[in-house]
Amino acid sequence: MTRLSVNINKIATIRNARGGNVPDVALAARKCEEFGAEGITVHPRPDERHIRYAFVDLVMEVVPDQVTLVPDGHNAITSNAGWDTIANKQLLTGLCKTFHSKGIRVSIFIDPIPEMAFGAAECGADRVELYTAAYAENYPKDPEKAIDPYLETAVAARDAGLGLNAGHDLSLENLAFFVRTIPWTSEVSIGHALISDAIYMGLEKTIGAYLKEIRKK
């Protein structure tokens, strides 16, 4: 069964807009889990626009179940590419070893390119997370064509012995088709669309709606 992890960055962005602790990000995370989410995602960025951090130190202190390595530049509005796991093998291998020393599962964020999945395995990763922006963009025009490179890369990841996550621009519109086509997806991480839907529907109802989409046959 695919697990739903809620990315709470947007809640932190609202908090940071006024300072203080409203909305309370930790409380929001607890509520997401109370309403049925099976994981919480936080994504520090270089400019600390939402989650504040010294990333490696924070991870080593908190010891989460999983850390996902995402290649964000200082000028990136949002994640816009996956790792080149071949060109960055030395860096990624070192990070995998660091986090594995604490027993933390490591996922590497990649574009839907099979070679990048095999490269992630060579780095010592446990999982890859497929960057699904292109899928979401092309889904309304041709769902089958949109998912083809993701299916190919998901098969490569499975053949390499890696677990599979997915995230970025997944929504109530396109989520069920993705999970139905690639049913061995272990986890989807959803933030922007889910928090946006929660403005209209409320957080509890929204999480329920996303879980329903995941579980469609």
The dihedrals phi and psi of 213, each to the nearest 5 degrees, come to -65, -40
Kindly report the CATH number assigned to the domain that includes residue 137. Answer: 3.20.20.70
pLDDT at residue 181 in the model: 98
What is the predicted pLDDT for the residue at 87?
Answer: 96
Q: Checking DSSP bridges between strand 39-41 and strand 3-7, what pairing results, if any?
A: parallel
Q: What is the pLDDT of residue 141?
A: 98
Q: How many domains does the chain have?
A: 1
Q: Is the separation of the CB atoms in 110 and 117 below 8 Å?
A: yes
130: β partners: 110, 166
Confidence at residue 68, expressed as pLDDT on a 0 to 100 scale: 93
Give the tokens for residue 194: 């889910």
Does residue 50 contact residue 10 with C-beta atoms inside 8 Å? yes
**The pLDDT of residue 79:** 56
Structural domain containing residue 42? 3-214
Cβ contact 181:147 at 8 Å: yes
The pLDDT value recorded for residue 50 is: 43
* pLDDT score recorded for residue 46: 56
* Predicted pLDDT of residue 52: 45
Query: What would the two tokens of residue 160 be?
Result: 């390499």
Tens-of-pLDDT digits for all 217 residues of the chain?
999 999 999 998 999 889 899 999 999 999 999 999 999 998 765 555 444 445 778 888 989 999 999 887 545 444 578 999 999 999 999 999 999 999 999 999 999 999 999 999 999 999 999 999 999 999 999 999 999 999 999 999 999 999 999 999 999 999 999 999 999 999 999 999 999 999 999 999 999 999 999 999 7
The 3-state secondary structure of 80-136 reads CCCCCCCCCHHHHHHHHHHHHCCCCEEEEEECCCHHHHHHHHHHCCCEEEEECHHHH
**DSSP state letters, the chain:** -PEEEEE-HHHHHHHHHH-TTSS-HHHHHHHHHHTT-SEEE----TT-SSS---HHHHHHHH--SEEEE----TT-SS------TTTTHHHHHHHHHHHHTTT-EEEEEE-S-HHHHHHHHHHT-SEEEEE-HHHHHHTTT-HHHHHHHHHHHHHHHHHTT-EEEEESS--TTTHHHHHHHSTT--EEEE-HHHHHHHHHH-HHHHHHHHHHHHT--
